[in-house]
Amino acid sequence: MAVVSTPATLEHAVPVMDNAEVLRIRNDFPVLNQLVNGQPLVYLDSGATSQNPLSVIEAEQEFYEQRNAAVHRGAHHLAVEATEVFEDARQTIADFIGADYAETIWTSNATEGLNLLSYALSNAGLWAAQGRGDQALRGLALKPGDEIVVTEMEHHANLIPWQELAFRTGATLRYIPIGDDGSLRMEQAESIIGPRTKVLAFTHASNVLGIINPVRELTALGHAVGALVVLDACQSAPHLPLDVKELDVDFAVFSGHKMLAPTGIGVLYGRQELLDILPPFLTGGSMITTVTMERAEYLPAPQRFEAGTQRISQAVALAAAANYLTETGLDRIHRWEAELGQRMVAGLEGIPGIRVLGPAAGRERIGLAAFDVEGVHAHDVGQFLDSRGIAVRVGHHCAQPLHRRLGLTATTRASAYLYNTTDDVDRFLEAVAGVRAYFRA
């Protein structure tokens, strides 16, 4: 099972967060202190993009005010300082996820990280065909007859890159189906993941269902057949303790903008021994050792995958965000969000005409709930809630196959974070209770 502490196991392990503490935390987030349509903002769209605390905003501002320079390229004072804080940020993020320094690669977001990985794997086939690389590299090359396995609940970012990898290599894409409650059909997973599986990619926590998947069980199935295991940690890294070594995955990705950091920064984790043999995806400056007019030799990871000028200020800000979460306590954040998630689901289930996706009240989930309002389109629901100062996400949440499996085209999603109170959830529930009457559904 995934390394996740449930509310029950956390009860006596860490101090409990409460509304009073959350209200103090909210003071760190300037954007939350405003009126929307004449009412105090209730921000329940952190599953899409979280807000930034002052410490993160100030970290990025301080970089531009005091240290702005290109990293790894200059011997002058500012360049040295910029390089130091940039690489210190890498170490901070490596520690945050239980990885080693050289296993932590900067990307623009998780989507880029997954594309980087899929193209690196297809480049492995090209290199192998031309006699470049060793036997270990050739073992990573995909070919017709090989299989890539995902799940039916994946975000498009963890589906389309693998579709395209299958197209480029002739491999076959397969998926583990879900049951009516949204959980993975693990009995089918055991038969789908087999000797031909070269890549197994799945989400740690669903951005629609709120389900936390059994990472260890899936990883064991993948490794038993020699597959590479790729974890989409976008909805887990910001919300619960994440240790990639303990989970035993080969690669993992997450985005900064979902965990209190700016947009434009993400992370790809990969095992050192795999990163050092994979061909790069983007090529150019800063990731080479020797260049002639005919060919180039590449640095080991992490620079091997970081061509060109990097996201320096954003990396510094992401490290500040990780520190903020660590100081608050991810165990505590997870427990508080689990409480908010249960409050959301239980309240929604009590409103006539509401269908909640994913686990029912009382079952473990992260602090989000996607739901359908009978007779009212999700976009109308979102606009109704916005008129009352409540920000939620509407649409298919970049998970069309999942919605199609559940017989829906769009849903409304409320997602909480460490700065949300029980009053926020109650205001949201009170507003949702009025939707069908307003639209005369």
**Interval 188-197: pLDDT, tens:** 999 999 999 9
Q: Does residue 156 lie within any of the structural domains?
A: yes
Decide if 441 is inside a domain.
no
Q: What is the CATH number of the domain that holds 114?
A: 3.40.640.10
Handedness of CA 389, 390, 395, 397 (dihedral sign): positive
pLDDT interval class at 14 (50, 70, 90):
low
Q: How many residues does the chain have?
A: 441
Least confident of 6-10, 121-125, 219-223: 6-10
Nearest alpha-carbon partner for 410 in 384, 376, 378:
378
Question: Does 104 lie in the same domain as 45?
Answer: no
DSSP one-letter code for 370: E
Residue 135: pLDDT band with limits 50, 70, 90:
confident
In a domain, 2, yes or no: no
Which of 326, 348, 371 lies at the terminal end of a domain, its last residue? 326
What distance lies between CA 182 and its chain's CA centroid?
19
**Per-residue pLDDT at 303 exceeds 90:** yes
Q: What percent of the chain shows pLDDT beyond 90? A: 93
Does residue 106 sit in the same domain as residue 241?
yes
Residue 291: Cβ-neighbour burial (10 angstroms; 0-12, 13-18, 19+): exposed
The answer on 342 and 319 residing in a single domain is no
Predicted pLDDT of residue 441: 87
**305 and 161 in a common domain:** yes
The tokens for 276 are 């050092």
Whether 242 and 190 map to the same domain: the answer is yes
Find how far residue 48's CA is from the centre of its chain. 10
Catalytic residue list contains 398: yes
With a cut of 80, say whether residue 2 has pLDDT above it: no
Host domain of residue 132: 57-326
Contact 320, 57 (CB under 8 A): no
> How far apart, in whole angstroms, are the C-alpha atoms of residue 110 and residue 113?
5
Residue of 219, 211, 210 whose CA lies nearest to 149? 219
Active-site entry in 282, 398, 408, 433: 398
**Average pLDDT of the residues in 145-171:** 98
Q: Judge whether 371 and 355 are in contact, CB under 8 Å.
A: yes
pLDDT (tens digit, 9 = 90+) per residue, 16-71?
899 999 999 999 999 999 999 999 999 999 999 999 999 999 999 999 999 999 99
Whether 435 and 383 have beta carbons less than 8 Å apart is answered as no
Do 250 and 371 sit in the same domain of this protein?
Answer: no
3-class SS letters over 356-367: ECCCCCCCCCCC
Q: Beta 39-40 vs 228-232: how paired, if at all? A: unpaired
Joined tokens for residue 266: 């993400």
Q: Where are the alpha helices (DSSP H) in 193-329?
A: 215-224, 244-247, 272-275, 312-328
- In 3D space, the residue among 52, 10, 9 whose CA is nearest the CA of residue 322 turns out to be 52
Same structural domain, 318 and 344: no
Task: Show the DSSP H helices in 193-266 as ranges.
Answer: 215-224, 244-247
Query: Is residue 238 domain-resident?
Result: yes
| Closest listed residue to residue 341, CA positions, set 371, 324, 364 | 364
Q: Phi, psi at residue 187, to the nearest 5°?
A: -65, -30
Do 293 and 244 belong together in one domain? yes
The answer to whether 277 and 140 are in contact (CB under 8 A) is yes
CATH number at residue 34: 3.90.1150.10
What is the C-alpha to C-alpha distance for residues 375 and 393, in angstroms, rounded to an integer? 18
Whole-angstrom distance, CA of residue 35 vs CA of residue 85:
37
Interval 321-376: pLDDT, tens: 999 999 999 999 999 999 999 999 999 999 999 999 999 999 999 999 999 999 99
Pick the last residue of a domain from 261, 292, 326.
326
The answer to the question of residue 1 being in a domain is no
pLDDT in tens, 66-102: 999 999 887 899 999 999 999 999 999 999 999 999 9
**Cα gap 367→365, rounded to integer Å:** 6
Distance, CA of 249 to CA of 244 (rounded, Å): 6
353 and 231 in a common domain: no
Find out whether 235 and 217 touch, Cβ atoms under 8 Å.
no
Domain count, the chain: 2
- Cα–Cα distance measured from residue 149 to residue 261, given in angstroms and rounded to the nearest whole number: 31
Which of 277, 306, 326 finishes a domain? 326
Q: Cα separation of 208 and 411, whole Å? A: 9
pLDDT per position as a tens digit, 195-207 = 999 999 999 999 9
Helix then strand then coil, in percent of the chain rounded to 5, is: 45, 15, 40
Sequence-distant (≥ 6) Cβ neighbours of residue 101 within 8 angstroms: 90, 91, 94, 302
**Is the Cα torsion angle 393, 395, 401, 403 positive or negative in sign?**
positive
Amino acid at 229: V
Residue keyed to tokens 């589906």: 159
Within a domain: 245: yes
320 found inside a domain: yes
Are 151 and 292 in the same domain? yes
Residues 298 and 335 in one domain: no
Do 224 and 336 belong together in one domain?
A: no
Domain contains 334: yes
With tokens 């579709």, the residue in question is 163
